[in-house]
Chain A
Amino acid sequence: MKRTFAILLRNPLSLLGLVIVAVVVLSAVFADFITPFPAHAGAVVDFANFNKAPEWPYVMGTDLVGRDLFTRIVYAYRISLILGVVVLVLAVPVGVAIGLLAGYLGGWTEYLLMRLTDVFLSIPPLVLAMSMMGVLEPTLTNGMIAVTAMWWPWYTRLVYNLTRAEKEEGYVLAAEIIGASRLHVMFREILPNCVPSIVTKMTLDLGFVILIASSLSFLGLGVQPPTPDLGSMVADGAKYLPDSWWLTVFPGLAILVAVFGFNLVGDALREVLGAEQ
């Protein structure tokens, strides 16, 4: 763990990624203290300062009802991160468990579980999430459910393939010959060997979950106003391009930077953990 961290710090790109991720996460956590107008995260109207180009104290300008854009972007990060973490916390255990079962038990179990997974994978993710959001009410909770529903199959695929490879290793046979239970073999022998790949994918995915959640809210199917959300901010501002460019450019950049940061860290982790094995 220590060594992994040391290698990450040595590579300039992964260092940049770590810095971005740290800044995004810390600013989201401490949003109440670092933003100039915390009240602007909610339903506030200030027509004296509406639609202002970036100027002090509105470093990124204000939106159409006079709220500070910088404040809203930081709070939107908070929502996005909560959504990303919740989605992964829900999707990863489900996907991992199904992948382990299918990969280790084989036979009919494998057939049923993997075909089910294929069904989910065969629907374009955005279409699946859109149709779910169309049926459900567009709230943050339902957004999480929709994104979770499209996310777990990727972990099933990953863990299924890893399990199939690990199953051939001698240590699995050794545990079976000793008489260990299937649960022990799956969760105590095979799973620990899948953890590096799972952690790497989770880091990469945190960025992608933010992206897909933004896409949904861009289409009006995500978080609803007045809760700040990067996707809906871009969508709302797009109508006023190019005059009020800050309405779109800053939230858009915010998405880009966050996704980029998580990707850099994920890529670096993949290299470091891959080389370890």
Chain B
Amino acid sequence: MSHPFLSLRDVSKTFHTGGREVRAVDGVSFDVDEGECLAIVGESGSGKSTVANMILGIYPQTLGEIAFKGSALPGRRDLVHRRAIQLVQQNPLSSLNPRRSIGASLRLALDVHEIGERSGRDERTGQLLEEVGLPAAFRTRSPAALSGGQRQRVAIARALACQSELVVLDEPTSALDVLVQARVLKLLNELREKRGLTYIFITHDLSVVRNVATRVAVFEKGRLVELSPTEAIFADPKHPYTRRLIGAVPVVTAGEAELRNRLMEKTDANA
């Protein structure tokens, strides 16, 4: 029997704040298949970030088990697990150290996991930058010299630098403006196909979900209320909360959609 790529079994997380117990995640179980992009959606406070943080090992779960490729992940991660599971954060402004060059930030992953010959690592950071559509010469620049979209590309390159298999994307496009958003999503889709990556994509933006996700997990108040393929969720949301969530998306009329498609073609031609 083959093991699921990543599995959560009855995972709960309780926080103790000011003498009160808050159950942020309550008995959640689901599997993530290799090569898919699972979107986790829900309002703020629904527990979606807590789930991601437990998968990343930022803090341990209170109850339950998280297993990666058939072996349970320990609360304190060793380098093997760190290497396999990486993160792209929401805010590319703060996720890159302002006092270190882009190259130094990328090289850290190579140094920590001893990837490649020491002498070839600087060159490797250049290749990583090219892989995310940035010039290799950017490695000597400081983050302040880059735009938001460029910084987020660097953050993606960093998550790939240690040859990770699972990438947790924590609202990676919500701090970017719409056009940049579309290009970053396109890059993420390409990288997933090319490298055979698996994504867990945390977002509250359902239009983003439509563009990238293969399946969608809907969270409400710490519980997993629905988990279906993306088309099924949009075509026939089962849970009332999912219906409300989809109902809250601004509707695009047929005319607007056509206009949008025409404009997008133009933008693509220019890009």
Contacts and interface: CB of A to CB of B under 8 A. Distances in A.
Contacts of B162: 178-179
9 contacts: A170-B94, A173-B58, A174-B87, A174-B89, A174-B158, A177-B58, A178-B82, A179-B112, A179-B113
Which bracket fits the contact residues of B? 20 to 34
Contacts of A193: 97-99
B177 to A, nearest CB: 19
Contacts of A179: 77, 79, 82-83, 112-113, 162
B127 interface: no
A171 B108 contact: no
Interface residues of A, number: 19
Contacts of B82: 177-179
A207 B109 CA distance: 43
Nearest to B100: A192
A1 to B, nearest CB: 13
Interface in A191-218: 192-193, 195
A192 B109 CA distance: 19
Contacts of A184: 108, 112
Contact of A171 (B58, B83, B86, B95): B95
A179 B86 CA distance: 10
B50 interface: no
Name A's interface SS.
Answer: helix
Nearest to A171: B97
B91 interface: yes
B51 interface: no
Nearest to B90: A170
Closest CB pairs A-B (n = 9): A179-B82, A170-B95, A192-B99, A170-B94, A171-B97, A170-B89, A177-B87, A178-B109, A179-B79
A119 to B, nearest CB: 29
Contacts of A118: none
Interface string A158-191: 0000000000011101111111110010001100
B158 A178 contact: yes
A197 to B, nearest CB: 12
Given A169-B94, A170-B91, A170-B94, A178 B86 contact: yes
A171 B79 CA distance: 18
Interface centre among A177, A180, A188 (most CB of B within 10 A): A177
A175 to B, nearest CB: 6
A180 B58 CA distance: 13
